[in-house]
Amino acid sequence: MADLAVGGRVAGQGQGQSEEGFEPEVVGFLCNWCSYAGADLAGTSRLAYPTNLRVIRVMCSGRVDPEIMLEPFLDGADGVMVLGCHPGDCHYLSGNYQAEQRVRTIWMVLDHLGIDRERLYLDWVSAAEGARFADMVSEFVARVRTLGPAGGGPASREGLSRGEFAFRAEVARRVAGGERFRWLVGRNKALSEEGNVYGEKVSPHKAAALMQSVIADECVRAAIEVLAGEAPVSVRDIASRLGISAQLVLEQAAYLKRRGLIELYDVSGRSPRYVRAGARA
Amino acid sequence: MQASCAQPRMGVYVCHCGLNIAGVVDVEAVRDSARALEGVVVARDNKYTCSEVGQKTIADDIRDLGLDRVVIASCSPRLHEKTFRGVLEKCGMNPFLLEMANIREQCSWVHSGDSAAATEKAKALVRSAVARARLLSPLSRSEGRVVPKVMVVGGGVAGISAALYLGNMGIKTYLVEREPSIGGHMAMLDKTFPTLDCSLCILSPKMVEVAENENIQVLSYSEVEKVEGQVGDFRVQVRRRARYVDEAKCVGCGDCAAKCPVRVPDEFNRNMGERKAIYIPFPQAIPPAYAIDAEHCRYLTQGKCRVCEKVCERGAVVFDQTDRVETVEVGAIVVATGFRPYDASKKPQYGYGRYPNVITSLDFERIICADGPTHGKLKRPGDQATPGRIAFIQCVGSRDEHGHDGAGAYCSRVCCMITAKQAFMVKEKHPDSEVYVYYTDMRTAGKGFEEFYQRGRGEGIVFVRGKPGEVREEEGGSLRITSEDADSGCILDLSFDMVVLAVGLTPPEGLVDLAQRLNLSRSADGFLMEGHPKLRPFETSIDGIYLAGCVQFPKDIPDSVAQAGGAAAVAAATCSRQKIEMDPLGPVIDEDLCIGCRLCEMLCPYGAIKVEKTDRGYKARSIEVACKGCGVCGASCSARAITMKHYSNDQIVAQTRALLEVS
């Protein structure tokens, strides 16, 4: 299946700021025990870094829900940092491994949706690494600067308009909130190390392929839900918006209809139109 | 005070922190922007919010204006969250209705070059804190029990001192030591600076006191394997290695060792002498019991011998002993695992390990000690000749700015004085000998230190400012050092009979593992990190775990003992509490949404969530006492049925949105 990005790429609408005038908005999720303490140490040591980063303190990087990692992109962030304790040093033993699983999987979703994965950054900072933290923030802000504003049209790496970026970020967030996605992320490590319910170990390669196919389906489903949530939309229109075949859209629409998430609105020409369940007046 | 009523009444307090914040951030502008936020009843700026006046202002507002949320924009919550929660509690408010915005460590202190941008950032951080505060709910803390016992890990002078302080306070204390005897490095030293006290003469009475104190139980030849629980209620698994000698029966007569046929290099004497496979590390050992070194024992490796068993009249040798793991419950833990001397062979330019007459400062202690391999006669290892010309090289493994070869960038603090002492002792035993000290800086900060150093200078010890590049061995085992004397600018090319490397102190063996087991942070230098570099020197980031001695950073004996006293005091304070209140950060499970998939159960690192069969199918249940509040369950739940108390998705999303709002 073609990545959504290919068909969906929309030319910029001239909204993007020029690169020099662009100040990236960066949100950081920092764990209380290591990375937040490291950031505090950067302060105590008076190590300057760009003002672009704004921090939200959480107890553990493992607390950062995949939906929450994507939320800032819906609100105008150009980059997101998730920082935890070094592997093996997690205050809660293994939360940072979960954070890593989530970020790696979200990167696959972002790749699929044509959003540059570099906008979501994951790293480890210990409570002693004030200087490392300050350097990391400086480098990430510089990196986001070269990516351009999220949804900045031609001024951005992805070339997506603000509206298109927001649409894709919303699709990504819905995927990250989905049951299949969350189950696979949570089980990913165990699947390759302990095996599935039948005790069969799944090779990392196979697990990635499985994840890839789940992401492909989930992205289409989420996109249909988003589009049908606004107003009745035809299969043909969805297909052309996503740059995929009408057949693929119809398959996933049928699934969503079975689950009672969307309903048939009417048939326009030869293409059925769907709307969010319960939205029909 | 109802917190969930329609519109919360919030008070915002923006701190100047003297000029720490106000010198960069326009505090008044931040205050005014906060005043305009929805639900904010009052916004003030204070010179020092944490001061009594600052706290009183908040308390007055809570009472007079009926505030039900408090937002404080000041320093890191890691510093003062406790203080301000206390203010709320005193006013009868739920302490969890407080939120802080960190505008000092994460704003003014790192953005001093750009006041305008720092002010905008501070406004955003306050907006975010207010958005979160709006969604906070009152929470009640759960209570945990307190086991009034302490474990001290490490039986050097710091651990011994901590155990004695605790034992004398009447607190049951377990002293865990990896080696067969307590004593640590101090037991290996000949004399101590600057008073030249005999090291073991002052340590050994303390060791005996440990053995005799009925509140102290020594767990020698043992290591901490696993730690569970939290402050007040730790469960520590201790691996008690098989000693093959019954401690209770052994009287330390030594008949076994006399007959043991296996000779092994003696590590207590830095491998310069030999011991037997059944041995006691040194005569004053506590417990005063022999141990069998399983790696070398002929019976345990080859299946025959058992001579020691035959000669022991008391039947103390027990070959069927095995390692066993004991679980010990304690309320607090003091970590005092000391240091490891820098491995000088990592600096091949000095030839340690290759040239027999190059030794380290610790080797020197054993050579000069009456109990050592030469019975206190100053002899060099190569040929047992008495060295007439001795050089000391300072800072081997310390003050290495690049940290090459496992060396520290830090100053090890004690090596200057150790060398001053050793040079003095050489002069004392052999006044005619020539002693040179190659140093970077002589650091003699301590009571009586400078005076002692000057006394050494008066004895004719030559101090050369310079760090030799290498030591070359010459015929006959003498050693040549070519170095610049930075004070005179001359090149000195001298030959010595023996060279002593003043090795630095590095983190002890196995500290990485121990830190992970205890969940402690290490500083950049590799030692354990204290709770606060100035004000919490005994504490760690984990409540109930405290530090004593060199495991925190190199220090001399009196400083180690002083820190041990402090650690013992805080551990005793923990043990004297009736109960421990625990922050309620656990999950709330919506059973209507839970599908019983077990993901949370599988991912919880503490077994604090279990799926149980109910009349509505399988549902997850939280086990509050085991939960530490990390939030992995909530962030992973496939059905999004789990909400974390105090860090809910709604709260985090509100914070994010407020951060990114255009002001």
**Closest partner residue to B105 among A27, A44, A94, by Cβ?**
A44
Chain A contact probe: residue of B20, B109, B110 with most A CBs at under 10 A: B110
> Nearest CA to B59 among B16, B96, B92?
B92
**Mean pLDDT score, B573-599:** 93
Q: Which two tokens stand for residue B56?
A: 């009183």
What is the Cα–Cα distance from B316 to B148, expressed in whole angstroms?
A: 34
In a shared domain, residues B286 and B374: no
Residue B32, domain CATH: 3.40.50
Stretch A64-69: mean pLDDT: 97
Mean pLDDT, residues B609-634 taken together: 92
B419 domain-assigned: yes
- Cβ contacts of B638 on chain A, cutoff 8 Å: 179-180, 182-183, 186
> Does B536 fall in a domain?
yes
> Which pLDDT tens digit goes with each residue over B21-31?
999 999 999 99
pLDDT of residue A280: 65
User: Do B608 and B492 share a structural domain?
Assistant: no
Give the pLDDT mean for A6-20. 38
B253–chain A Cβ distance below 8 A for any pair: no
- Are B326 and B290 spatial neighbours (Cβ–Cβ below 8 Å)? no
Residue in A43, A49, A92 closest to B632 by CB? A92
Q: What is the mean pLDDT of residues A28-33?
A: 96
The answer on pLDDT for B2 being more than 80 is no
How far is Cα A95 from Cα A129, in angstroms, rounded to an integer?
19
> What are the beta bridge partners of residue B42?
B11
Q: Using the CB atoms, write b or e for B547-557: b if 16+ within 10 Å.
A: bbbbbbbbbbb
Whose tokens are 């081997």? That residue is B396
A93 chain-B contacts, CB cut-off 8 A = 519, 605
Asked if B78 is an interface residue toward chain A (Cβ–Cβ < 8 A), one would say yes
Residue B114: pLDDT over 50: yes
Query: Which range marks the domain in which residue B86 is found?
Result: 10-141
**B358 and B499 part of one domain:** yes
Alpha-helical (H) ranges within A116-161 are 130-147
In this structure, what CATH number is given to the domain that contains residue B294? 3.30.70
pLDDT in tens, B52-101: 999 999 999 999 999 999 999 999 999 999 999 999 999 999 999 999 99
Mean pLDDT of chain A: 89
Of B86, B111, B141, at which residue does a domain stop? B141
CA distance B532 to chain A (A): 11
Residue B350's pLDDT is 97
CA-CA distances (angstroms) from residue A84 to A95, B14, B370?
A: 8, 29, 53
> How many structural domains is chain B composed of?
5
Looking at the structure, tell me whether residues B418 and B534 fall in a common domain: no
Asked if B242 has any chain A CB less than 8 Å from its own CB, the reply is no
HSE (side-chain half, CA atoms, 13 Å) at B308: 29
Amino acid at A25: E
Q: Give the tens place of pLDDT for each residue, A125-162.
A: 999 999 999 999 999 999 999 999 999 999 999 999 99
**Is residue A280 exposed (0-12), middle (13-18) or buried (19+ Cβ within 10 Å)?**
exposed
- Does residue B663 belong to any structural domain of this protein? no
* Chain B residues in contact with A34 (beta carbon < 8 A): 521
Name residue B159's beta-bridge partners. Answer: none
Inter-chain residue contact B657 with A75, CB threshold 8 Å: yes
Which one, of B422, B223, B206, lies nearest residue B337 by Cα?
Answer: B223
The CATH number of residue B608's host domain is 3.30.70.20
**Whole-angstrom distance, CA of residue A50 vs CA of residue A134:** 9
pLDDT class for A14, splitting at 50, 70, 90? Answer: very low
pLDDT number for residue A281: 54
Residue A173 tokens read as: 């967030």
Q: Give CA–CA dist B131/A77, Å, rounded.
A: 17
Which residues on B lie below 8 Å from A129 (Cβ)?
A: 524
pLDDT for the residue numbered A2: 37
B491 to chain A, any CB pair closer than 8 A? The answer is: no
pLDDT (tens digit, 9 = 90+) per residue, B161-203? 999 999 999 999 999 999 999 999 999 999 999 999 999 999 9
User: B145 — contact with chain A (CB < 8 Å)?
Assistant: no
Query: Which of A40, A83, A85 has the highest number of chain B CBs within 10 A, making it the mutation to test binding with B?
Result: A40
Predicted confidence band of residue A195 (pLDDT cuts 50, 70, 90): confident
Residue B472 and residue B546 share a domain: no
CB contact under 8 A, A75 and B104: no
Same domain? B329 vs B199? yes
Q: How confident is the model at residue A171 (pLDDT cuts 50, 70, 90)?
A: very high
B476 and B360 in a common domain: yes
Inter-chain CB proximity A71 and B104 less than 8 Å: no
Residues of A in contact with B518 (CB under 8 A): none
Q: Decide which of B488, B506, B524 is a domain's last residue.
A: B506
Q: Quick check: is B172 in a domain?
A: yes
Percent of chain A with pLDDT over 90: 75
pLDDT over 50 at A5, yes or no = no
- Section B399-424 average pLDDT: 92
Residue B371 neighbours by CB distance under 10 Å:
16
For residues B470 and B594, give the distance between their C-alpha atoms in angstroms, rounded to a whole number: 70
Q: What is the DSSP string of B237-303?
A: EEEE---SB-TTT-----HHHHH---EEE-GGGTTSSEEESEE-SSTT-SS---EE-TTT-HHHHHS
Asked if the Cβ–Cβ distance from A57 to B541 is below 8 Å, we say no
Q: Residue B321: what pLDDT?
A: 95
What pLDDT was estimated at residue A10? 36
pLDDT digits (tens, 9 = 90+) for B464-478: 999 999 999 999 999
With cut-offs at 50, 70 and 90, classify the pLDDT of residue A62: very high
CATH number of the domain at B400, please: 3.50.50.60
Q: Are residues B352 and B435 in the same domain?
A: yes
Question: Is it the case that residue A208 has pLDDT exceeding 90?
Answer: no
Residue for token pair 């059905």: B639
- Say whether both B17 and B136 belong to one domain: yes
Where do the DSSP E strands lie in B354-486? 358-360, 389-396, 434-439, 462-465, 471-473, 479-484
pLDDT at residue A3 in the model: 45
- CA B657 to chain A, closest CA, distance in angstroms equals 6
Q: How confident is the model at residue B623 (pLDDT cuts 50, 70, 90)?
A: confident
Confidence bin at B392 (pLDDT 50/70/90) = very high
State ipTM.
0.91
Q: Are A74 and A169 in contact (CB under 8 A)?
A: yes
Of B450, B478, B506, the one marking the end of a domain is B506
d(CA A176, CA B662): 26
Residue with tokens 């699709």: A171
Report whether pLDDT(A79) > 50: yes
* Structural domain includes residue B68: yes
CA distances from B442 to B331, B408, B430 (A): 43, 18, 23
Q: Are residues B359 and B294 in the same domain?
A: no
Q: What is the mean pLDDT of chain B?
A: 95
Using a pLDDT cut of 70, give the percent of chain B over it. 99
For residues A8 and B195, which has the higher predicted lDDT (pLDDT)? B195
- The answer to whether residue B292 sits within a structural domain is yes
- pLDDT tens readout for residues B537-570: 999 988 899 999 999 999 999 999 999 999 999 9
Tokens of A47: 């190590």
Angstrom distance (rounded) from CA B468 to CA A251: 78
Nearest residue to B242 via CA among B319, B310, B154:
B319
Residues written for chain A: 281
Distance CA B117, CA B201 (A): 63
Strand partners, B13: B44, B72
Q: Which of B379, B386, B376, B455 is nearest to B423 (CA)?
A: B455
Chain A CB within 8 Å of residue B128 CB: yes
Residues B377 and B423 both lie in one domain: yes
In a domain? residue B656: no
pLDDT tens digit sequence for B504-543: 999 999 999 999 899 888 988 999 999 888 888 999 988 8
pLDDT of B405? 83
B:574-603 residues touching chain A, CB 8 A cutoff: 585, 595, 597, 599, 602-603
Q: Please give, one letter per residue, the 3-state secondary structure of B101-128.
A: EECHHHHHCCCCCCHHHHHHHHHHHHHH
Do B122 and B51 reside in the same domain of the chain? yes
Residue B283 lies in a domain: yes
